Amino acid sequence: MTVGIASVEIATGVIAGRIAAGARAIRWLDDRDPRGAAVLGAIYGATGRAHIVGITGPPGAGKSTLSDMLVAELRRRNRRIGVIAIDPSSPFTGGAILGDRVRMARHTLDPHVFIRSIGTRGAAGGLSRSTHDAALVFDAMGYDIVLIETVGVGQDEIDVVNLAHTTIIVGVPGLGDEVQAVKAGLMEAGEIFVLNKADRDGYEAAHRQFGLMLHLRANARPDDSWAPPLLRAVASRDEGADVIADALEAHLAHLKAGDGFARRSGRRACAQMVNLVHARAAAALLRLPEATRLLDAVSACEIDPYSAAERLLAGSRNDSEGAA
């Protein structure tokens, strides 16, 4: 079977909402198989409808349990849900535990829930390199909401903000320094804030700290028309799902009342194009014979990395101008 025929068949299955076709498409995209790009080109016109929701926060915040609880609540509201659970990959083998799928096992038999675990494969930012593509596959399959649960993130690892229409920041009391999460840069990014494990000691102190930071954020953004709510949850006991789902619906309505939904979708698509150009241009440059020589020279301390990079780029520009 040729690449083209295989891609057309899978694309047709994706648009028809078939799980097997969606899983195959995501696998191809994650493996950078050329058939994946062909599928994406065929289904792209059927995307742009799903509400992309990012769930992020520091390690230990209970993001997986909260995601599982939220899926159950959204299903009670008759939403079709796609879940992309990002798991860290081993730097040695490239494998991932993919434990989030296990933690959401109660939804695996629901035909209206599709859970896909993806390893980071060395990508920074709390996401996998194929997260954007997987979200498009879910979108084309007709899922109403796509939940993206990141790995535990730190100060600058908030790429999900550029991917999602709505970002849920999950915090938790009792990590030793309640301000640590707000130092992480996440407070500037989220649309909904959830303090999970609210039955723990230290909840009131954490709530005050988060409330203060949100107050300062509001003062710094007087023109911001959305006021991020600070919500309470105990996901292990299914407490708080209803108010989180209400907040998601309110933020979606807020986005669609103006051009926010379309603008964020467009920003996401443009960012993906730029990322692809960066990756492919870098790969093409590093395949040049001059790149090998420069890498050897940098390794031997014969030239500094900045000068080597500039020389490689200058050589590439000169070759392009000569060809023109």
User: How do residues 222-241 score in pLDDT, each as one tens digit?
Assistant: 888 999 999 999 999 999 99
CATH code assigned at 168: 3.40.50.300
Residue 271 lies in a domain: no
pLDDT beyond 90 at 186: no
Q: Which of 62, 76, 86, 58 is nearest to 184 (CA)?
A: 58
The region that residue 280 occupies, defined by phi over 0 for left and psi between -120 and 50 for alpha, beta otherwise, is alpha
DSSP 14-80: HHTT-HHHHHHHHHHHHTT-HHHHHHHHHHGGG-S-SEEEEEE-STTS-HHHHHHHHHHHHHHTT--
Looking at the predicted structure, is the pLDDT value of residue 270 above 70?
yes
> Both 100 and 156 in a single domain?
yes
* 215: containing domain: 47-258
Residue 274 counted as domain residue: no
Ranges 40-49, 148-157, 219-228: which has the least confidence: 148-157
Same domain, 35 and 75: no
Residues 88, 51, single domain; the answer is yes
Distance of alpha carbon 69 from alpha carbon 197, whole angstroms: 13
pLDDT for position 174: 78
Instruction: List C-alpha distances in Å: 192 to 146, 166, 228, 234, 267.
Output: 16, 8, 5, 16, 20
**Bridge-partner residues for 86, per DSSP?**
118
Report, as an integer, the average pLDDT of 40-64.
Answer: 91
Q: Which of 46, 65, 81 is where one domain is finished?
A: 46
Answer yes or no: do 91 and 175 share one domain.
yes
Q: Using DSSP, state whether 145 is helix, strand or coil.
A: strand
Same domain, 218 and 233: yes
Could you read off the pLDDT of 68-109 as tens digits, one per residue?
999 999 999 999 999 998 875 444 434 444 444 556 778 878
The DSSP element (H or E) to which 110 belongs, if any, is none
pLDDT at 299: 95
Q: What's the confidence (pLDDT) of residue 150? A: 84
Same domain flag for 100 and 244: yes
Burial of 65 (C-beta count, 10 Å sphere; 0-12/13-18/19+): buried
Q: What is the pLDDT of residue 320?
A: 59
Per-residue DSSP letter, 236: G
**pLDDT at site 158:** 60
Q: How many CA atoms lie within 13 A of 295 on its CB side?
A: 8
Percent of the chain with pLDDT over 90: 55
Q: Is the pLDDT confidence value at 323 over 60?
A: no
Are residue 298 and residue 250 in the same domain, yes or no? no
Please report the pLDDT score of residue 285 as a whole number.
92
Count how many residues are written for the chain.
324
Q: Residue 133 pLDDT > 80, yes or no?
A: yes
- Angstrom CA distances, 88 to 44, 91, 127, 181, 301, stand at 28, 9, 9, 20, 34
Q: What is the pLDDT of residue 32?
A: 87
Same domain, 191 and 235: yes
CA gap 103, 260 in Å, rounded: 33
Q: What does the pLDDT read at residue 276?
A: 85
pLDDT given for residue 189 in this prediction: 78
Predicted confidence (pLDDT) at residue 250 exceeds the cutoff of 90: yes
Residue 10 lies in a domain: yes
**Res 165 pLDDT > 70:** yes
Indicate the burial class of 85 (C-beta count within 10 angstroms; 0-12, 13-18, 19 or more). buried
Give the mean pLDDT of 8-36.
Answer: 94
The least confident of 49-53, 249-253, 276-280, 320-324 is 320-324
What are the tokens at 54? 């990012």
Q: Which of 237, 258, 279 is the last residue of a domain?
A: 258
- Give the pLDDT of residue 103: 60
pTM, 2 dp? 0.85
Of 61, 43, 52, nearest in space to 7 by CA: 43
* 9 within domain boundaries: yes
What mean pLDDT is reported for the chain?
Answer: 84
Please tell me the total count of domains within the chain. 3
Structure confidence at residue 221 as a pLDDT band (50, 70, 90): confident
State whether 129 and 182 are in the same domain. Answer: yes
Say whether both 87 and 145 belong to one domain.
Answer: yes
The residue-averaged pLDDT of 141-145 equals: 97
Q: In the sheet where 113-119 sits, what is the strand order?
A: 113-119, 81-87, 145-149, 51-56, 166-171, 192-195, 230-232
pLDDT at 258: 93
Residues contacting residue 117 through CB under 8 Å, at least 6 positions apart: 85, 86, 87, 96, 98, 99, 100, 101
Residues 17 and 135 in one domain: no
Tokens coding 108 = 């695996």
Confidence grade of residue 183 (pLDDT, cut at 50, 70, 90): low
> Which of 243, 258, 273 is the last residue before a domain boundary?
258
pLDDT at 125 over 50: no
pLDDT category at 212 given cuts 50, 70, 90 is: confident
Mean pLDDT value across residues 106-135 = 75
Q: Is residue 215 part of a domain?
A: yes
Q: Is residue 278 part of a domain?
A: no
- The larger pLDDT score, comparing residue 222 to residue 38, is at 38
State mean pLDDT over 155-182.
72
Q: Looking at the domain assignment, is residue 282 inside a domain?
A: no
The whole-number pLDDT of residue 291 equals: 93
**Helix, strand or coil, per DSSP, at residue 258:** coil
Indicate whether 65 belongs to any domain: yes
Residues 314 and 216 grouped into a single domain: no
